[in-house]
Chain A
Amino acid sequence: MEPTELERIARQIRLRDLQAVYEAGAGHIGGEMSVIDILTALYFRVLRVWPDQPKHPERDRFVLSKGHTACALYVTLAKRGFIPEEEISTFLQPHSRLNGHPNNNKVPGVETNTGPLGHGLPVAVGMAKAAKLSGAKYHTYVITGDGEMQEGSNWEAIMAAAQFGLDNLTLVIDHNRFQQGAALADTNDLAPLRPKLEAFGWEVTEINGNAMSEVVPALEHRSSRPHCIVAHTNKGHGISFMQDRVDWHHKVPSKEQYDLAVAELSEAI
């Protein structure tokens, strides 16, 4: 699938995500808007997955370590055929399998349960190591938030991935520069990320994570070492009044804001 088609799908996913968060009255819309281009490229171009066989042994593994942006994953999985699209309307409803953080025992396509930060990368290292042991050809992808990289467990995993020579692992850091309470720079500034990952023995690519023409080749790149994509993104990308505003980490739009956001996202569909 070509970048322009992927961009069209990403806009549709943004629109459905916005609607789901608005209707549920909760969600993490800022970080969802920043990561949706990467999710779209993964599920509609890069990942070898079979929605009718979500446990296929040869499937590429994907872990959304920033599990609080589950709604974006659910919408993407639904659009790709893992779950019914109409089920998105149950997001956060009582007994829905679509709760605020993804559950692998209930939602096809989810590999491991995330939510507490700093969990996905160690699990992804285990997945990639398993492939090395078994000879399986699948590739493992994991997305973390940039604030999430403050969790020490990630750096334990980064060390191990290099030590194990995991050339079948790609980490994408959604570098939207904001965490829940403030800008990364004002909290515990990890930027620049590149030299830190390089110092640990990883190959690093920096891209505009909201530009499909840069996202796709970076995800498809194969390295002789573990590969980290520092994806420079915008929190709230695609919705002008949300963009790069920390208060949109998990704020819910009013009716007026919702209508405005729908109008902006609908323009190009």
Chain B
Amino acid sequence: MNAPVSTAKLHDCRDAFAATLEKLAENDETIVAVCNDSVGSSKLGGFKSKFPDRLVNVGIAEQNMVGVGAGLANGGRLAFVCGASPFLTGRALEQIKADISYSNANVKLVGISSGMAYGELGPTHHSIEDFAWTRALPNLPVIAPCDRIETAAAVEWAASYDGPCFLRLSRVGVPDLLPANHKFELGKANLLRDGSDVTLIANGTLTHRMMKAAEILAGQGISARVLNLATVRPIDEEAIIAAAHETGAIVTAEEHTIFGGLGSAVAEVIVEHAPIPMKRLGVPGVFAPTGSAEFLLDEFGMRPASIAEAAVTVIKRK
């Protein structure tokens, strides 16, 4: 039932995050990592051993963690504030709003194990609302990389960007999708596969499932375009409008509730600029049952074959 979606080698994007952060920190002494007792789950063990003084562990205290990050930025430090995404974004949302976004603090928020990465631990540990919460805030780019290459590129970009951002990472393994020399551009979708009948849009752990779905559709004679949309805000309106005009149908998929996430963001663009048939796949506004992340994605209709079926249905509505 739950055979691996990809036969390619899978990688935990947290490793790319940690390795990139350590590399950057070697050349930039202002870089600090802030965490909430999450040294292990944020993969900060290497950072801690290399830069023990620059690992600021506030203990299990997410509100303080985000405020401390803002204060560190005020004092000229480049703070990567790392914690499990449900607690970083859920517990400390008001701090993210007032101390980071509204105050324009140069803080990089890193939500680890987002989506349903904590699977069996249950809905308290799922972070399927964080796109909605963070993309509602001005001045806070929201980014969910699709593989280790994009993760490393996004971390490098974040370090060079003068302002706050939210990086949404997972611990669920994903195959390489982008070329090794990929350079992250804020607000730019990546065309991973061109097509003319329908466009499949996703990010994070769903992008590779979209690629598989496109293969299935190709077998049925359907030409599917695949866009990797890591940046949920600011969103790439141009790529979405072009997809609407050129393929006439869109399917989105996300490891997030369908209320307010990637699909909603794409729908906002479509409704205002190029109304076409569209289907949003994701968690349908419920608390998930027990199961691993991969099981739950399958359960909620995001198995590649199910995505392909959704695409066929939406194409018929043209």
Q: Which residues on the A side are within 8 Å of B75 (C-beta)?
A: 61, 126-131, 133-134, 136
User: Which of chain B's residues have a CB closer than 8 A to the CB of A122?
Assistant: 63-64, 66-68, 70-71, 95, 99
Query: Is A111 interfacial (CB-CB < 8 Å)?
Result: yes
A112 B32 Cβ-Cβ under 8 A: no
Q: Determine if A113 and B61 form an interchain contact, defined as CB atoms under 8 angstroms apart.
A: no
What separation, in Å, do the CA atoms of A53 and B160 have in the docked complex?
25
A163 interfacial contact with B, CB 8 Å: yes
Is A210's CB within 8 Å of the partner chain B? no
- A130 and B71 contact, CB distance less than 8 A: yes
State whether the Cβ of B151 lies closer than 8 Å to any Cβ in chain A.
no
1/0 per residue, CB under 8 A from A, across B55-96: the answer is 010110101101111111111110100000000000000110
Question: Assuming A112-B105, A119-B99, is B63 touching A156 (CB within 8 A)?
Answer: yes
Taking a contact as CB atoms under 8 Å apart, the answer to whether A160 and B99 are in contact is no
Q: Measured between C-beta atoms, what is the minimum distance from A40 to chain B in Å?
A: 24
A105 contact set on B, CB distance < 8 A: 103-104
Whether a CB of chain A sits under 8 angstroms from the CB of B53 is yes
- Whether the Cβ atoms of B99 and A123 lie closer than 8 Å is yes
Which residues, 107 to 157 on A, are CB-close (under 8 Å) to B?
111-116, 118-119, 121-131, 133-134, 136, 140, 152-153, 156-157
Q: Given that A114-B98, A134-B77 are contacting pairs, would A159 and B61 also be in contact in the complex, using a CB cutoff of 8 Å?
A: yes
Query: Is A123 touching B56 in the complex (CB atoms < 8 A)?
Result: no
Q: A113-B99, A134-B76, A160-B61 are in contact. Are A119 and B71 (CB under 8 A)?
A: no
| Closest Cβ neighbor of A164 among chain B residues | B56
Count chain A CB atoms within 10 A of each CB in B64, B71, B105 and give the residue with the most. Answer: B71
Q: List chain A residues, Cβ under 8 A from B67.
A: 119, 121-123, 125-126, 153, 157
Residues of B within 8 A of A116 (CB): 94, 98
Tell me the smallest distance from the CB of A73 to a CB of chain B, in Å. Answer: 15
B54 interface residue (CB < 8 Å to A): yes
Q: Is the CB–CB distance between B59 and A119 below 8 Å?
A: no
Chain B positions within 8 Å of A114 at CB level: 98
A54 at the interface (CB under 8 A from B): no
Chain A nearest CB: distance from B290 CB in Å?
Answer: 31
* B98 touches which of A113, A129, A152, A164 (Cβ 8 Å): A113
A84 CB within 8 Å of chain B: no
Contact code string B96-115 (vs A, CB < 8 Å = 1, else 0): 00110011110000000000
Contact: A123 with B61, CB < 8 Å? no
**Chain B residues whose CB sits within 8 angstroms of the CB of A133 once the complex forms:** 32, 53-54, 72, 75, 77
Please report which residues of chain A, range 72-131, place their CB below 8 angstroms from some CB of chain B when the two chains form the complex: 103-105, 111-116, 118-119, 121-131
Q: How far is the CA of A159 from the CA of B113 in the complex (A)?
A: 27
Q: Is A57 engaged at the interface, CB distance under 8 Å to the other chain?
A: yes
| Residue numbers in B under 8 Å from A157 (CB-CB) | 64, 67-68
Q: Which of B32, B68, B77, B104 contacts A123, CB < 8 Å?
A: B68
Min CB distance, B59 to chain A, in Å?
7
- Known interface pairs A127-B75, A136-B75; A160-B105 also in contact (CB < 8 Å): no
Given contacts A134-B77, A156-B58, A160-B61, contact A125 B68 (CB under 8 A): yes
A125–B58 alpha-carbon span in the complex (Å): 10
Q: Of all chain A residues, which has the CB nearest B63?
A: A153
A164 to B34, CA, bound (A): 13
Contact of B71 among A113, A118, A126, A153 (CB under 8 A): A126
A197 to chain B, nearest CB (A): 16
Q: B95 to A127, Cβ gap below 8 A?
A: no
- Nearest CB of chain A from residue B318's CB, rounded to whole Å: 46
How far apart sit A127 and B103, CA to CA, in the bound complex (Å)? 14
CB contacts (< 8 Å) of B72 on chain A: these are 126-127, 129-130, 133
Whether B58 and A124, one on each chain, are in contact in the complex, defined by CB atoms closer than 8 angstroms, is: no
Chain A residues with Cβ below 8 Å from B58 are: 156, 160
| A140 proximity list for chain B (CB < 8 A) | 71
Q: Are B64 and A125 in contact (CB under 8 A)?
A: yes
* Chain B CB within 10 Å, residue with most, of A112, A126, A152, A160: A126
> Residue on B with the closest CB to A136?
B75
8 interchain residue pairs of minimum CB distance: A126-B71, A130-B75, A122-B67, A156-B64, A156-B61, A126-B68, A153-B63, A127-B71
Q: What are 22 A-B pairs at a CB distance below 8 A?
A: A105-B103, A112-B99, A119-B98, A121-B67, A122-B67, A123-B74, A125-B64, A125-B71, A126-B72, A126-B73, A126-B74, A126-B75, A129-B68, A130-B75, A131-B75, A133-B32, A133-B72, A136-B75, A153-B95, A156-B64, A159-B61, A160-B59
